[in-house]
Amino acid sequence: MPSHTPQQLKKALVTAGFQVFRTLGDEIVLAERVRENLIMDSGVRLRASDPLQIRVVFKAQRGNFPGEDDSHLFNRARKLAESALSRGFQESSRAVSPVMDPTDAERTLDTFFEIVLAKDAGSLELAIEELKFALSLDRTAD
């Protein structure tokens, strides 16, 4: 049983100065402010597990690299993750995520090639330090 509930973690993260985008089950998804009136999913999450786990999504968008095959797109995402890997994060999964047209479920607007890295934290204080680090990284290939 985790020592912190998602609600407790959410409150602690807000107190520490983070913006929360949403809670998905046992994960608190942090937000990043794109403009004064717009926040988005940052791809940085804290999982209410024992131990706590920081998860970071790195991605490459097919539309930005139209001629590249899937393996090259995953490598672009993995290249972004190098500093996190050197800090002890480990690749936990990878996924191909289509972005569907909200007005036409048959039409794919773009596709993201995502690498998810994870790192356990022995305390909330250590998790907060790693979340700050994760938010400082470029997480989307340009």
Query: Which CATH number belongs to the domain containing residue 116 in this structure?
Result: 3.30.1460
Residues 6+ apart with CB under 8 A from 50: 1, 2, 3
- Look at the block and give the residue holding tokens 């097919």: 62
Q: 30, 3, 34, 35: which is closest to 17 by C-alpha?
A: 30
| Residue 64 in domain | yes
Average pLDDT in the chain: 94
Averaged pLDDT for residues 109-119? 97
Task: Answer for the pair 142, 77: CB distance below 8 angstroms, yes or no.
Answer: no
| Residue 82 in domain | yes
| Residue 1 in domain | no
| Residue 141 in domain | no
Averaged pLDDT for residues 17-26? 95
DSSP bridge partners of 39: 33
* pLDDT beyond 60 at 32: yes
What pLDDT shows up at residue 34? Answer: 77
DSSP bridge partners of 100: 108
| Residue 81 in domain | yes
pTM as predicted = 0.91
Task: Give the model's confidence band at 37: pLDDT under 50 very low, under 70 low, under 90 confident, else very high.
Answer: confident
| Residue 87 in domain | yes
* Angle made by CA atoms 105, 99, 57, in degrees to the nearest 5: 150
State the Cα–Cα distance between residues 88 and 48, nearest whole angstrom.
19
What pLDDT shows up at residue 100? Answer: 95
| Residue 104 in domain | yes
Which residues span the domain enclosing 44? 6-136
Averaged pLDDT for residues 15-25? 95
> What burial class does residue 136 get, using C-beta atoms within 10 Å of its C-beta: 0-12 exposed, 13-18 middle, 19+ buried?
exposed
Strand pairing report for 104-121 and 52-61:
antiparallel
* pLDDT beyond 90 at 18: yes
Number of domains making up the chain: 1
pLDDT 10s digits, 66-113? 999 999 999 999 999 999 999 999 999 999 999 999 999 999 999 999
